[in-house]
Amino acid sequence: MEFDVQSLKDCFFSGIQYLGVTVKISLVSIIFGTILALIVALVRFYKVPVLSQLFALFVTVYRGIPIMLIILIGHLMYVMHFDTVVKALHLSVKIKDVDIVLLGYIVMTVGVIPSISETFRGALKSIDKTQYEACYSIGLTTTQSLRRVILPQMFPVAFPSYINNILGVIKGVPLLSSVGIMEVMQGSLLPCSVSYSYLEGYAAAALIYFMLITLILNVAKYIEKNLNRYRVIRKNTK
């Protein structure tokens, strides 16, 4: 069976229609996941009693379970307990009225926390202890030290690994098709139900993802270049 270019085009344009869903899930997951991951990293770095142990357990357990299993378990819990939670909150919403994409937001957000938090925690450890001591010696509080000194130094160090985390989120979105969420890959395969040209469908999805990730890498390269320039300026002014 020969590779059909026309089928590739049909699958490509079909998949493009669902690019917005993929980008939206990725963006929401990355934004909220980054905020929560930073909190987890800081709590573990400063060894906050009880919370640091709980977060360490969460990171260990979550990183030890395949993302596909987490998605399937999350879907079952979503279906089984949605009505109970809604009833407890005295809401009149039915599960059929809620977009399944909401599950994608939750699962991918929680899923990105362990990897990003470890990236941030590693970057925090790379900062010389004298930086912390200097902050405290001039009377800065922990919050002021983080905002003015520590975090501005942490982000440039964490950035390369952070970009890898972002790419991991985007590449993980196709797994959500297992619970019925229509994203780029499933959108690209829609025409295949008629033409049976599944190779072209997968190739079209791969092409769309390649274009998206290439764009992100180029933007990241530009940002990293400016971050490194900022680090050099700070280093020269010390």
Q: CA distances (Å), 97 to each of 101, 182, 210, 217, 238, in order?
A: 12, 17, 34, 37, 58
Taking a C-beta distance cutoff of 8 angstroms, is the pair 125, 204 a contact?
no
CATH number of the structural domain 28-162: 1.10.3720.10
DSSP symbols for 110-148:
HHHHHHHHHHHHHHHHHS-HHHHHHHHHTT--HHHHIII
Per-residue pLDDT for the chain (238 aa), expressed as one digit of tens each?
577 888 889 999 999 999 999 999 999 999 999 999 999 999 999 899 999 999 999 999 888 888 888 888 888 888 888 888 888 888 888 877 788 888 889 989 998 999 999 999 999 888 888 887 788 888 888 788 888 888 888 888 899 899 999 999 999 999 998 888 899 999 999 998 887 788 899 999 999 999 999 999 999 998 888 776 655 445 544 5
CB atoms closer than 10 angstroms to residue 57: 10
CA 88/CA 37 separation, integer angstroms: 29
CB atoms closer than 10 angstroms to residue 97: 7
* Range(s) within the chain of domains with CATH label 1.10.3720.10: 28-162
Q: pTM of the predicted model, to two decimals?
A: 0.85
In degrees and rounded to multiples of 5, residue 17 shows phi and psi of -65, -25
